[in-house]
Amino acid sequence: MLDRKVPRYLSYPTAAQFHEGIGAAQFDLWTEGLTPGSRVDLYVHIPFCPELCWFCACRTQGAPSARAVGGYLDALHREIELVGARMPAGVTVASIHWGGGSPTILQPAQIEALAARLRSALPVEPGTAFRVEVDPRHLQPAGADALAKAGMTGALLGVLDFAPEVQQAVGRRQSVAQTEAAVAMLRSRGVGSVGVELVYGLPHQSIRSLSETLACVLALAPDRIAAFGYAHVPWMAKRQRMIEDRHLPGLAARLALHEAAFGAILAGGYLPVGIDHFARPGDPLARAAASGGLRRGFCGYSAGSGDALIGLGVSSISRFPQGFVQNTLQTGVYRSRLAEGRSASRRGIALGLEDRVRARAIEMLMCDFRLDLDALRAQFGDFARLLERGIALAADRFGSAVRRRGGGLEIVADGPLLARLVAQTFDVYPASPARLVLAV
């Protein structure tokens, strides 16, 4: 069963269902329709990297020149202004996340200017949670100073595996010393939450190399750790063709790597959060997981979420109560649309009531490993009955690994491994094989 491929379920419906019938007009209308008093999350995408890692399937590109980055930032500033002009009074920003790519490719002056534009054009309050994805190989003291001055409260550092043979196979050279220096820079500047992201299932990766990497990571005492399974999708991410299939671990080895990673992190005193995250006791993410307040979205797990997500930058996805909208994937098109004063939104999907019911059920499974039918009835009324067939099917398909509970469903064994498989039972859309990843 674990050799099946499933969606990641960062959203429902997934991005595979987006279409060009939803675009700029809906983005503008839904932004203008945000209700006063609502809180929105902001995601800002910086697609550029100083060098491209072969393993990565994110929407990234090389930075051919400082001029190319500057031209993109000009368009991003214009998009921020357009969104700010359409956002109704009384809406506030709940959180900010800079992702990529490598946001740390920006020069200090560019960091300060982007942060200032967000504050001037959008309702960002002092002390707003502000997380940045950091490449430890390229973080410099001046850049760390600029991020701290901009109000960064959290950082996410990519690590993968420190073994030289693994790093050579994935095209990413990163030393323990570089990572230690980055963490020290962030801590000394008052960044209160530091997270580290690991990847298992990489070429040439072994239990030994992963265990040694985990020992180094645990010594850094990060507040949060994520352990993702490598998704090998060379038909989508052409750079992954540099990685030979024969060097990837098979299913049994991949499962052993998963168990080794999770076991070491738990033994290090971290609490499990969802299917692939961990947090120190007392961390807001750990508290949310314990209290049922955990949410899942395009940036992974969070301790609650805003009423909407506004995605800024090329390829970014916005989430509204009415549906999802994604910006164009092409940087040139993005820049030209913004130069014309138009939204860069290209495709998306409008949500029906059934979509909302199924989306919340899937999110419950991905966050809490259970589907609370009583809570869904309270939220959606009789429409929660749409899930009854899926509950019966999941109970039959997964046997003793799940348990019927109050009309709902609970995963009682191997939740991190089975959650996406069980969630797929409630997904009524046709699967897009190109976008699926291994369950383990």
The CATH number of residue 418's host domain is 1.10.10.920
Percent of the chain at pLDDT exceeding 70: 99
Contact 11, 429 (CB under 8 A): no
pLDDT at 14: 96
Q: Is residue 322 part of a domain?
A: no
Place of tokens 């309050």: 125
Q: Is residue 180 part of a domain?
A: yes
Number of domains in the chain: 2
pLDDT at 300: 92
Tell me, yes or no, whether 227 and 130 share the same domain. Answer: yes
Q: Is residue 179 part of a domain?
A: yes
Give the structural domain span for 157: 13-312
pLDDT at 60: 80
pLDDT at 236: 81
Q: Which of 59-73, 139-153, 195-209, 340-354 has the lowest mean pLDDT?
A: 59-73
Q: Which of 57-71, 88-102, 110-124, 263-277 has the lowest mean pLDDT?
A: 57-71
Tell me, yes or no, whether 119 and 260 share the same domain. Answer: yes
The mean pLDDT of the chain is 95
Q: Rounded CA gap, 268 and 246, in Å?
A: 33
Q: Is residue 438 part of a domain?
A: no
Q: What tens digit of pLDDT does each residue of 181-200 get? A: 999 999 999 999 999 999 99
Tell me, yes or no, whether 290 and 375 share the same domain. Answer: no
Tell me, yes or no, whether 161 and 229 share the same domain. Answer: yes
Containing H/E element for 94? strand 92-100
Tell me, yes or no, whether 253 and 130 share the same domain. Answer: yes
Is the pLDDT score of 18 beyond 70? yes
pLDDT at 238: 85
Q: Is residue 334 part of a domain?
A: no
Contact 69, 106 (CB under 8 A): yes
Percent of the chain at pLDDT exceeding 90: 86
pLDDT at 63: 80
pLDDT band at 55 (very low <50, low <70, confident <90, very high): confident
Q: Rounded CA gap, 173 and 269, in Å?
A: 29
pLDDT at 126: 86
pLDDT band at 61 (very low <50, low <70, confident <90, very high): confident
Q: Is residue 198 part of a domain?
A: yes
Q: What tens digit of pLDDT does each residue of 379-411 get? A: 999 999 999 999 999 999 999 999 998 889 999
Q: What tens digit of pLDDT does each residue of 201-236 get? A: 999 999 999 999 999 999 999 999 999 999 988 888
Tell me, yes or no, whether 362 and 240 share the same domain. Answer: no
Alpha-carbon torsion (120, 123, 127, 130), positive or negative: negative
The CATH number given to whatever domain includes residue 179 is 3.80.30.20
Tell me, yes or no, whether 288 and 370 share the same domain. Answer: no
Give 280-287 contacts, CB < 8 A, sequence gap 24+. 280/223, 280/224, 283/193, 283/223, 283/224, 285/224
Tell me, yes or no, whether 128 and 34 share the same domain. Answer: yes
pLDDT at 64: 63
Which one-letter amino acid corresponds to residue 286? A
pLDDT band at 281 (very low <50, low <70, confident <90, very high): very high
Burial of 120 by CB count in 10 Å (0-12 exposed, 13-18 middle, 19+ buried)? Answer: exposed
Mean pLDDT value across residues 318-323? 98
pLDDT at 364: 98
Tell me, yes or no, whether 301 and 388 share the same domain. Answer: no
146 Cβ contact list (under 8 Å, min separation 6): 108, 109, 111, 112
Tell me, yes or no, whether 198 and 248 share the same domain. Answer: yes
* Domain stop point among 259, 280, 312: 312
* Domain stop point among 294, 312, 330: 312
Tell me, yes or no, whether 360 and 304 share the same domain. Answer: no
Q: Is residue 299 part of a domain?
A: yes
Q: Is residue 328 part of a domain?
A: no
Tell me, yes or no, whether 85 and 143 share the same domain. Answer: yes
pLDDT band at 58 (very low <50, low <70, confident <90, very high): confident
Q: Rounded CA gap, 308 and 301, in Å?
A: 15
pLDDT at 195: 98
User: What are 421's two structure tokens?
Assistant: 């498989």
* Domain stop point among 312, 337, 364: 312
pLDDT at 240: 84
Is the pLDDT score of 65 beyond 70? no
